[in-house]
Structure 1
Amino acid sequence: MAEEPTTKGEKEEETKVAPTPIFGQGSTFAGTGFSGFSMNSGGFASSGTSEASGGTAAAANPEEECQAEFKPVVQLEKAEVTTGEESEEVKLEYKAKLYRYDFEKQEWKERGVGPCRILEDKKTKKTRVLMRRDKLHKICANFLIMPGTALQNHQGNDKTWVWSTPDFSEEEMKTELFTIRFGTVEKANEFKEAFEAGMKANEELGILDESKEAESKEEGEEKKKEDGVDELAKGLADVKVEGEEKKEEEESKE
């Protein structure tokens, strides 16, 4: 049987019935304003671009690190920072939490959390405890280990120690009651051993005698100041009395 000729309208209808896939490989964006672009593996490419140029673009690695160099706007110079610990040897260092007792409010207050070090000066051989707060590095404990200092557990906790000592962390000598807590019992025991070893070394160096001499000297200076103030006050009082006597004599002559 001879095939019936198809009309032009029927051909257009057949074309509309089976359109090409919209996002399939090789699909085009006809009639949407993107007819100049076609889909290929890995992205969009201009339909008018030759295969040679397309190969060059495909060869570029999108994950390759940028090699561009940018110079800083402001140049900062390196500054040397001294902590005062350069001439000291670290005998022990453990992270701990330190508390001080507030006698006015009668309660423990947290002083800081950070590395607690027992340091020995390489020249003088004096041993001290130095503790700084984490991140801020602010000193929260700084004192020589005084002979005769007694370490005791706080309420039976084997991870803690309580003791009293003259402290210089706030740039002023002040007697504090401290308690320190470590993460493990082993660390607490090692701290006690290093603390007592430093206490013995300082006793042999005569730290306690030096401290007493400094205290007596300070007391002597304070006494001199008080005596000087008393003498000055007495002198001013005498001047005042002499002036009043002259005034009385002049009044009596009149």
Structure 2
Amino acid sequence: MRMKTQVLGLEEVAVTTGEENEDSLLDLKSKLHRFDIDGSQWKEGDLGTVKFLKHRDTGKIRLVMRQSITLKICANHIVTSGMSVVEHAENDKSCVWHARDFSNGEPKDELFCIRFASVENCKAFMEKFKEVAESEEEKEESKDASDAASLLEKLTMEEKHTKEKKEAKPVEKVASAKADKAVGEKKTRVCALSLSCICICIATQTHKAR
């Protein structure tokens, strides 16, 4: 007796990793360790692929590592200016660095040690790390210079405006003095005219009385 097999069609589900808007600058197979402060020892590491990812819109570069089998994130942090990476004192295939890591969803200061299959891969990782950190430092210096230039321009404009106001005050005083003088002359003419009218009226009345 033959059993009929029914094939069910399954809909494709798009899987997102959060890396869709980022470009990979470098990715290498490696093993990552974290330093346990409480136990004063290195924790057993995760095998996976470490990447430097650059965001297409912001230009920010982060270091991300996922476990090979589960794809769980075991390292996730932005590479910023001032960060440094050094070769491990006892293994030239490994290097060490500090970072504020977000792999567990909450920021946590971590000391990482990563080991590669070859010295060449370790050097490539360190070179890229230093390159990114230096580029971030240059961006900050450029921003600081731009901010300083904007501030200087603002101060210059304010100084110019203040100077123009000071120069405008004497002109306003002269104009006010001229206006007061004109009003005074007008009042004098009115008074003279009124006095003339009074004299005429008095003369007329005197003449009639005679």
TM-score, normalised via structure 1 length: 0.52
1:111–1:140 contact (8 Å) kept in structure 2: no
- Larger helix proportion of the pair: 2
2:27–2:51 contact (8 Å) kept in structure 1: yes
| Shift in Å, 1:124 | 1.0
Residue 134 (structure 2) aligned to one of 184, 196, 200:
200
Structure 1 residues 44-63: aligned runs within 5 Å: none
Instruction: Tell me whether 130-139 or 156-165 shows the greater mean CA deviation.
Output: 156-165
Indicate how the Cα distance of structure 1 residues 70 and 205 shifts in structure 2: closer, same or farther if over 3 A, else same.
Answer: farther
Partner-residue secondary structure (3-state), 2:82: coil
> 2:125 aligns to what?
191
Which ranges of structure 2 fall in alignment gaps of 5 or more residues? 144-210
2:85–2:129 contact (8 Å) kept in structure 1: no
Opposite residue 137 of structure 1, the aligned amino acid is L
Structure 1 residues 159-238: aligned runs within 5 Å: 159-206=93-140
Partner-residue secondary structure (3-state), 1:176: strand
Which ranges of structure 1 fall in alignment gaps of 5 or more residues? 1-68, 210-254
TM-score, normalised via structure 2 length: 0.62
Opposite residue 82 of structure 2, the aligned amino acid is G
Identity %: 40
2:84–2:133 contact (8 Å) kept in structure 1: no
Q: Select the structure of larger CA radius of gyration.
A: 1
> 1:76 aligns to what?
10
2:66–2:72 contact (8 Å) kept in structure 1: yes
Partner-residue secondary structure (3-state), 2:52: strand
What is the RMSD of the two structures over their aligned residues, measured on CA atoms? 1.9
Partner-residue secondary structure (3-state), 1:147: coil
Deviations 1:169-221 (A, max 9, x none): 000000000000000000011111111111122223449x9xxxxxxxxxxxx
1:92–1:117 contact (8 Å) kept in structure 2: yes
